[in-house]
Structure 1
Amino acid sequence: MKLIANSIKAAVVAALVIALANCATAPSENEARRDSSAKAANEVKAEAQAQAQRRAKQKSEASEAERISVIASRLKADDDTVLADQNQPLPPRAPEALISDTLKQLLTQVKTNNELLAHSQRDAETGFNNQPFTHNLTQAQKEELYRLVSRHPESVGQIFKRYRVNPTIETEYNAISTFAMDVDNGSFKLASAMLHSNRMPDPAGIRVEEFVNALDYQYQHSDDLFALSAEAMRSPFREGFYLLHVGAQTRELKAGERNPSNIVLVADVSGSMGSDDKIELLQVAMKTLVSQLDKNDRVALVAYSDNAKVLLDPTRASSKRKIYKAIERLRANGSTNVEAGLKTAYRLANEMQEPGFNNRVILTSDGMANTGSRSPEAILSTINDAKQNGIFLTTLGVGKEVYNDYLLEQLANQGNGTYLYIADLDDVQEVFVDNINSQLQTVAKDAKIQVAFDPAIVSHYRLLGYENRHLETQDFMDAEKDGAEIGAGQKVTAIYEIKLAESIRENLPRAKAIASLAVSYKKPEGKKVFQIQKNIPVSIIQQNVEHTSADSLLSFSMAAFAEKLRQSYWARFYTYHEIEGLLLTLPRNYQAHQQVKELKQLISIAERLDNGYDEFEANYPISKVSFERVPLLD
C-alpha cells in the first residue's frame, strides 16, 4: 500500500508541476510517386518509433513497474463524487468539507501561482505541503487531495472557451439557419487523447462540429465544386424529433494535380514544449510533411521562444537532408512569443508567395503564449494584410497537460485556416500523408452553409454545434463576411434535430421539400461569391434505422457522443449505452472500419469515467421537461 501511495503521489506531483508550469502524370509515374511518398513517410515513422523505444528504455524499471493509472472524473470544485483508483468506479460518496474547501483553494492556486515555475519535483511537493490550507490535513487526506487535483480539468493547465449550446428554434419565427463551414478536428483529437489517458475531457473544449467532421464519410460526387447530400431519420435520442444529416464534399484531386506549395513551418520551441514529448512529435510531423513534397515545393523554417529566428531560408523540398537537419536542431527553451513567430513567418511567406501556388504558414505549438500579444485578435491584427493576400494558416496543436485550445482554434478560425491536433504517429500519418492534398490545396474560401426550412413541413430545428460559426442570414452572400477555407476532397457535415409540423406527420407529402440547402464560397484568389443550391426533398426522411445509410448513423452517433461529453442539456435523456446501441445497427463490414472501432472504444472509456453529474436537474428536472423548448441558460 505504501508503494502504491508513493506512486500515486509521484504521479500527481508530476501533474501539479506540469499544471503550474507555463500557466498563462502517367499512371506508372503516379504509382511510383505514391510508392516513394509512402516509403518516405514509413522511414520517418520508423525513425520516430525507434526514438520512442530508446526513450522508453531509459526509464527505470522500478518506475515502469509501479506505474499506476489514475481514473479521471468530472469533479467540480464543489462536487461530492470521488472515484477510486480502480478499473471500476465506486458509488458516489461525500468527502469531508475540509477536503472540498481545500480543493477549491488549491485549484485557484494552480491557476494563479507562478512561484513554483522553476522548481524541481521535490521543491514543488515541498511547496505544496507548506501551503497554509494543507496544514490541517492528515497524510491520508493529502493523498486523497493529490488524486482530486490530478483528475480535475483545471489542474491539467488547458485553456478553452465554452460556447452556449444552440437553442431549439421555431420556424414560425426564424426558418433560416446560416453558419460558416468548419473542417477542424482539434476538439475531437484532444478529447480522444484525454480519454486514452483515462481523463474525462473538459466539457468547455467539446465542439460538436469538430467531432462530426473528424470522421470520413463516403459521399457521392457531382460536377459541382461542392457535392451536397442529405438524409434524415427518427431520433433515438430526442422524442418527437428527427435527425437530419447534411453533407458537402469538394472535388478530389487526381495524382499530379496538386499545385506547387510554398510552406513556412513555424515551430514553438518554448519551455512548455519540453514536456509530453511535444518537440519530438513536432519534429516527426514536420519531417513527414516534407517527405510528401516534391522538387516544385519550397519550405522555410522559423523557430520562436522569447523571440523568433529563421532556422532555414526558403529551400527546395528536394533538398530533404538539409531540411531534416534544420528540423533536428529544434530544442525547447524560454518563453512563448507566438506573435513574434507569426510575424517572422508571414514576412517569409510574403517573400515566397507566387501566383498559382499553395501559400501556407503552418504553426505548431501548445498555444501557451506568455510573451508579446497573447489574444488571437491582437496577434492576427499584425498579419491581417498577409491574410487578405491569399496566405493561409494551419495551426497544429501538440501536447495535453499544458495546452491553449482557444488560442490555436481562434487563430485558425480568424486567420483563413484550419485547426488540427496530433497526439501520436497515427495522427501525423492521417494529416500529412493520407490527407496531404486537402491540407495543402485550398479550393474554396469563405465557404458558408445556409439551410432554409419550410415552416409548413418543419416546425422546429436545432443545429448541433457550430455555435462559434454562427452567421446572420444576410451574411451568407456578403463577400466581406468570413467563412471557412476548404481543401480539395474535404468533407463538411452538419447535424440538425428537426420536428415535423403536426399537420403532415401522419401523411408526409413526398413531392415537397423540407428545406433548401445552399453553399456560398469564393475561389482561393478571387473576390466574387458563388452559390450552389439544392432542395432537400421529404423523400430523404427514413422511417427506420434499416433504411438509413451507414454514414448518417455514424454521424448521429458521433454527435450524440459529443453532446454527452459537452454536458449538453439535451444529452441528459440518453445514455452512452444507447449510443453504442445505434452503432451496433451499422452493417457488419462497416463496423470493422477503424474509425468505428475507435469511436466504440472512446464511448466505453467515457462511460466508465463519467460520474453522471447533471447540473440542470435541480432547476430543470427531467420529469418536467418539454421537448419542444429548451430553458435559457447562462
Structure 2
Amino acid sequence: MNPAHFKALCGLLLLLSAPAVAQSGTLHGTVVTQPGARPLEGVRVTATSPALKAEQVGTTDAQGNYRLPRLPPGTYALRFEKESFLPQTRTDVLLKPDATVRINAELSSGGDITVERPVSPGTPQRIFEPLSPFVPPYRAEADGVARVLPPTIPFAGPEDDRERAPAWALPHMPVLVPDGAVQYLYRSADDVPPPEFRTRSSDGVNPTIDTEEDRFSVLFVDVKTASYALARDYLQRDVLPDERTVWAEEFINSFGYGDEGQANGPFIINIEGFPSPSRKGYHVLRVGVKAREALPDVGVQVEFGREAVARYRLVGYERASPAPEPLDDDEEEHDTPMRAGQSITAIYEVKIRGPAIAFGRLHVNYDDPGGSSRRVLMLLPSSVLKSSYARAAPATRLAYVASAFAEKLRGSFWMRTLDWARLHALWEEVGEPLRSRQDVAELGALIRKAQALDKRKDRYERQVPLTNMDLDQAPDAAD
C-alpha cells in the first residue's frame, strides 16, 4: 500500500473511532452501611447492560467509592455485594453519551434475630420481626424442627455382647486390653446390618431432595468421630475400610475449622459455598455452628428458599431418623447440649435456580443457661457462594475434601466424576499453613493410601454409563 494512502486510512479510522470514545460514560458512587453510614471497603460492584458484551466489575476503596469508566450508553443494572451484607441491586440506570452518573448504595447486615420462645401451653403466638423486606414470611413454629438423635451402634458392654454382635458391628466395638488402652477388632463382614442401620437412599448415601417436597433440613449436634478414626486405622494397615463403616459427617467433624465466622448470639456461624468439583450445576455449601458458651439444649435447621434452590442433598447423616420433634417438646431425654467451643460442620450439595438476594435461612434453637428458650435466625445471602473452589476459605476447602474422601470410600454415586488423583490435588489446594497441620497432612497421606488400595470397579457403569449420568438423581442400588 502507498505510504500516503496508509496514513490517510489510519487518520480516517481515528476520526471514526473518536465519537465512540467520546460517547462513553461513567458510573460512580459511594457505598455505606445501613445504619451508621460508614464507608464500606471491598464491595463488589457489577454493571450489566444489553449494551455490554460482558459485565463490568469494580470494587469500592477505603472511602467506599467506586468508579466504572468507559461504559457505552444504555440502560444498566448495578449489583452491590459484600460478604455478611445483604446484596442490593439498582435497575433501570440510564447512562447517556458523555454522561457521569452517581449511584450511591446502602448495604444492611444480614445479621440475626434472637427471640424468646414461649413454653407454657396458653401463651399467645408471637410475631417475629422481619429480617429484611426480601425475606419470605416466617414459617409457623408449630411446623416444628426435627431434633432426633441418630441411632448409635452399641459399644463395649457386657462380655457376651461381643459374642452376640454381628460381624458388621465389631469394628465399632472397642475392647479394653490389660494396659487399659482401647483397641479395635477386625473381622470380615459376612452378614448385613439390620434394617434400622441401613441408609435411606438407593445408592447408599442421602438422596437429593426437591425443595417442593421438603425445604427444611436438620443438622444433628451430637456427631462422633469414630468412623474417621476407624478408617484411618484400616488404611494404615493397608486395608480399604468397609463401606458400611464410613459416615461422612464423622469425617467432616474430625477436623477443627477455627473461629472464623459471624458472631450470632452465643454462636459463631460460618456459611460458605463454591461450585461443586464433582457435580456440575451444584454448589458445595459448608454450614458451621460453634458454641461460644455452654448451652443445655441446641437444635440446628437449614431452610432453603424454594424460589432460589431447586434441590439439595445433605452429605452424611444417613443414620438420622426422619421423624420430626416439636420445638416446644421439653422432654429432657431429647436435650442435645453443646459445650463452650464445641462445633458442628455440615456439607450440602445445592442446586441454585438463578440469581437471588438470598437462598435460605439458618435456624438455631437453644435454651440458655437460665432456662429461657431462644432462637437465632440468620439469612443466607447469595454472596457467600464464591465463584470457585480457590476463592473459598481454606477451612471450607478442608471440610469439602474430608466429605469427598468419605464419599469416595463409601462408593458414592456422586463421586464418580472425581477420581482419587483429583481429590488429592484438591487437598493440596487447601493451602498453607492449614495443609501442614499434622491432622490435615495425615489426611493427604490417607487419600494417597486409599488411591493405591482402591481396586473397585465403577459399580454404576453398566447401569448408568458415566457419559449419561443424571446429575440430579441417583439410580437404584447397583449390583
* TM score, norm. by length of structure 1: 0.43
Q: 1:491 aligns with which of 318, 328, 343?
A: 343
- For residues 427 and 328 of structure 2, what CA distance do their matches in structure 1 show? 38
- Say if 2:198 and 2:319, in contact at 8 Å, map to a contact too: no
Q: 1:454 aligns with which of 305, 309, 326?
A: 305
Equivalent residue number for residue 83 of structure 2 = none
Equivalent residue number for residue 189 of structure 1 = 229
SS in 2 for 1:248: strand
- Comparing both chains, which one has the higher relative contact order based on Cα–Cα distances under 8 Å and sequence gaps of 6 or more? 1
Q: How far has the Cα of 1:489 moved from its partner?
A: 0.2
**Paired residue type of 1:447:** V
- Say if 1:178 and 1:472, in contact at 8 Å, map to a contact too: no
Residue by residue over 1:339-369, the C-alpha shift from the partner in whole angstroms, topping out at 9 and shown as x without a partner, is: xxxxxxxxxxxxxxxxxxxxxxxxxxxxxxx
Q: Given the alignment of the two structures, is residue 522 of structure 1 paired with residue 367 of structure 2, yes or no?
A: yes
Q: Given the alignment of the two structures, is residue 243 of structure 1 paired with residue 88 of structure 2, yes or no?
A: no
Q: How far has the Cα of 1:571 moved from its partner?
A: 2.0
Q: Given the alignment of the two structures, is residue 212 of structure 1 paired with residue 252 of structure 2, yes or no?
A: yes
| Structure 1 residues 628 and 474, CA gap change in structure 2 (3 angstroms) | same
Q: How far has the Cα of 1:584 moved from its partner?
A: 1.7
Q: Given the alignment of the two structures, is residue 467 of structure 1 paired with residue 467 of structure 2, yes or no?
A: no
- For residues 195 and 156 of structure 1, what CA distance do their matches in structure 2 show? 22
- For residues 202 and 544 of structure 1, what CA distance do their matches in structure 2 show? 33
| Structure 1 residues 199 and 523, CA gap change in structure 2 (3 angstroms) | farther
Equivalent residue number for residue 427 of structure 1 = none
Greater helix share, structure number? 1
**Paired residue type of 2:209:** I
**Paired residue type of 1:196:** Q
- Say if 1:517 and 1:536, in contact at 8 Å, map to a contact too: yes
| Structure 1 residues 525 and 209, CA gap change in structure 2 (3 angstroms) | farther
Q: How far has the Cα of 1:224 moved from its partner?
A: 1.9
Residue by residue over 1:462-481, the C-alpha shift from the partner in whole angstroms, topping out at 9 and shown as x without a partner, is: 00012223445664554348
- For residues 385 and 391 of structure 2, what CA distance do their matches in structure 1 show? 10
**Paired residue type of 1:190:** L
- Say if 1:180 and 1:446, in contact at 8 Å, map to a contact too: no
Equivalent residue number for residue 274 of structure 2 = 233
Residue by residue over 1:114-146, the C-alpha shift from the partner in whole angstroms, topping out at 9 and shown as x without a partner, is: xxxxxxxxxxxxxxxxxxxxxxxxxxxxxxxxx
Q: How far has the Cα of 1:157 moved from its partner?
A: 12
Q: 2:199 aligns with which of 156, 163, 182?
A: 163
**Paired residue type of 1:606:** A
- For residues 631 and 199 of structure 1, what CA distance do their matches in structure 2 show? 28
- For residues 158 and 620 of structure 1, what CA distance do their matches in structure 2 show? 27
Residue by residue over 1:64-93, the C-alpha shift from the partner in whole angstroms, topping out at 9 and shown as x without a partner, is: xxxxxxxxxxxxxxxxxxxxxxxxxxxxxx
Superposed, which structure 2 residues align to 1:316-327 within 5 Å? none
Q: Higher Cα Rg: structure 1 or 2?
A: 2
- For residues 201 and 516 of structure 1, what CA distance do their matches in structure 2 show? 37
| Structure 1 residues 450 and 473, CA gap change in structure 2 (3 angstroms) | farther
Q: How far has the Cα of 1:619 moved from its partner?
A: 2.9
CA RMSD of aligned residues (A): 3.2
Residue by residue over 1:277-306, the C-alpha shift from the partner in whole angstroms, topping out at 9 and shown as x without a partner, is: xxxxxxxxxxxxxxxxxxxxxxxxxxxxxx
Residue by residue over 1:147-187, the C-alpha shift from the partner in whole angstroms, topping out at 9 and shown as x without a partner, is: xxx99742799999443321111112221112322331111
Q: How many residues align?
A: 295
- For residues 623 and 223 of structure 1, what CA distance do their matches in structure 2 show? 45
Equivalent residue number for residue 566 of structure 1 = 410
- For residues 298 and 338 of structure 2, what CA distance do their matches in structure 1 show? 7
SS in 1 for 2:310: strand
- For residues 548 and 456 of structure 1, what CA distance do their matches in structure 2 show? 25
- For residues 188 and 344 of structure 2, what CA distance do their matches in structure 1 show? 30
Q: Given the alignment of the two structures, is residue 594 of structure 1 paired with residue 438 of structure 2, yes or no?
A: yes
Superposed, which structure 2 residues align to 1:392-407 within 5 Å? none
| Structure 1 residues 22 and 493, CA gap change in structure 2 (3 angstroms) | closer
Q: Given the alignment of the two structures, is residue 513 of structure 1 paired with residue 363 of structure 2, yes or no?
A: no
Equivalent residue number for residue 626 of structure 1 = 470
| Structure 1 residues 633 and 519, CA gap change in structure 2 (3 angstroms) | farther
| Structure 1 residues 550 and 240, CA gap change in structure 2 (3 angstroms) | same
Equivalent residue number for residue 613 of structure 1 = 457
- Say if 1:163 and 1:468, in contact at 8 Å, map to a contact too: yes
Equivalent residue number for residue 189 of structure 2 = 154
- For residues 559 and 518 of structure 1, what CA distance do their matches in structure 2 show? 23
Percent identity, please: 30
Equivalent residue number for residue 239 of structure 2 = 199
Equivalent residue number for residue 547 of structure 1 = 391
- Say if 2:197 and 2:319, in contact at 8 Å, map to a contact too: no
Question: Which consecutive residues of structure 2, in runs of 5 or more, have no partner in the other structure?
Answer: 1-160, 169-184
| Structure 1 residues 209 and 238, CA gap change in structure 2 (3 angstroms) | same
Greater strand share, structure number? 2
Residue by residue over 1:425-453, the C-alpha shift from the partner in whole angstroms, topping out at 9 and shown as x without a partner, is: xxxxxxxxxxxxxxxxxx23442221111
- For residues 476 and 178 of structure 1, what CA distance do their matches in structure 2 show? 12
| Structure 1 residues 541 and 156, CA gap change in structure 2 (3 angstroms) | same
Between 1:453-462 and 1:563-572, the stretch displaced more is 563-572
Question: Which consecutive residues of structure 1, in runs of 5 or more, have no partner in the other structure?
Answer: 1-20, 25-107, 112-149, 253-442
**Paired residue type of 2:298:** A
SS in 2 for 1:562: helix
Q: How far has the Cα of 1:491 moved from its partner?
A: 1.3
SS in 2 for 1:496: strand
Q: How far has the Cα of 1:534 moved from its partner?
A: 0.5
- For residues 334 and 320 of structure 2, what CA distance do their matches in structure 1 show? 10
- For residues 384 and 336 of structure 2, what CA distance do their matches in structure 1 show? 27
- For residues 192 and 163 of structure 2, what CA distance do their matches in structure 1 show? 7
- Say if 1:178 and 1:471, in contact at 8 Å, map to a contact too: no
Equivalent residue number for residue 500 of structure 1 = 352
- Say if 2:296 and 2:335, in contact at 8 Å, map to a contact too: yes
Q: Given the alignment of the two structures, is residue 224 of structure 1 paired with residue 265 of structure 2, yes or no?
A: yes
| Structure 1 residues 470 and 493, CA gap change in structure 2 (3 angstroms) | farther
- For residues 626 and 154 of structure 1, what CA distance do their matches in structure 2 show? 32
| Structure 1 residues 179 and 605, CA gap change in structure 2 (3 angstroms) | same
Q: How far has the Cα of 1:625 moved from its partner?
A: 2.0
- For residues 267 and 228 of structure 2, what CA distance do their matches in structure 1 show? 24
- For residues 567 and 484 of structure 1, what CA distance do their matches in structure 2 show? 31
- For residues 497 and 223 of structure 1, what CA distance do their matches in structure 2 show? 24
Residue by residue over 1:524-551, the C-alpha shift from the partner in whole angstroms, topping out at 9 and shown as x without a partner, is: 795x543211011000010022321001
| Structure 1 residues 470 and 498, CA gap change in structure 2 (3 angstroms) | farther
| Structure 1 residues 553 and 204, CA gap change in structure 2 (3 angstroms) | same
- For residues 467 and 163 of structure 2, what CA distance do their matches in structure 1 show? 43
- For residues 466 and 225 of structure 1, what CA distance do their matches in structure 2 show? 25
- For residues 622 and 483 of structure 1, what CA distance do their matches in structure 2 show? 45
Between 1:208-217 and 1:188-197, the stretch displaced more is 188-197
Residue by residue over 1:380-436, the C-alpha shift from the partner in whole angstroms, topping out at 9 and shown as x without a partner, is: xxxxxxxxxxxxxxxxxxxxxxxxxxxxxxxxxxxxxxxxxxxxxxxxxxxxxxxxx
- Say if 1:181 and 1:447, in contact at 8 Å, map to a contact too: yes
SS in 2 for 1:555: helix
- For residues 605 and 475 of structure 1, what CA distance do their matches in structure 2 show? 45
| Structure 1 residues 462 and 477, CA gap change in structure 2 (3 angstroms) | farther
